[in-house]
Structure 1
């Protein structure tokens, strides 16, 4: 679900104050017929605004596994992420881990890797060590993935043998093993996740040990 589905045009802006945002989030969580879900992911905007307060408030009475925080390596991004970590701690929302996105770019011609966003203070991994939160891994910039997103192509099929796929799989594996509750709850669907990311058929026994 997305508020974008309710707009008349893709160029329309959502100019709402806190109470109206709060009401829509409540409707999404309580009025939408979600049926039986294996996983419910909520993609929230950066920062610690009304949206985050509303979501954590409404989900307080249900079993929430936690938050995955995504950042980029440069210090200007990490400044906000530190605030988000503090926010999660204050509202008692478990932090499952931090993923560093756009960590580097590998030239498809010379195969040289370049840190586009320089980690001047050590990047996400160093920050995680300082703030005692799990570091799940890093994702490089991928031109193919970018093109797939722009055109609406299914990356799980086009990137079946790509090194980026292996990166995603490692992050999923690290995430599950970082949280015993997640491992127990979602072990039954891990084979499906691996299947989607790798494009390889797996038997029902192919779960993360």
Structure 2
């Protein structure tokens, strides 16, 4: 992440006049900034996976996943704002990966938020959260088949099962109002991965002269 940030802010701005416009999107500052954000998202994803394996609280996991979603959203914003210009040659699979991973972590964040709400006997709120989450997930599901797309679809199926369970619980026992729109609780993100600045090292060779 630090290397991409260094390229984006220190190196590439000086080279823009030397590069043909639109031909090398990977050598533009905004794309390198987006790649830096993707590295941060991947780093937090690794930490979050370990937190899941160690059984951390639903509250923390919701915040961590939403933090990943925020990193990915910022990266996609840098890319999508230039899709008709200098970035029109970017791989659609790459862009689809960014959006699908963002949707996956947003979905997971809301799944854990619903678990937290259910544990607090706020089953109606939990149902509202998952209904909103699934509605958004359906809009984000790509048509092509791939490993990471399959992971997203599996997560969506798990969330649908949780929603059905909460709906049944609410209909039979809790009888709580299902919130809509702005009444629905929303996840809060927490970013715990920070960029480590890259400092280039210069190779200094000692010159020795024969006497």
The TM-score bracket by the shorter chain reads: under 0.3
TM-score (norm 2): 0.26
**TM-score, structure 1 as length reference:** 0.26
More helix by share: 2
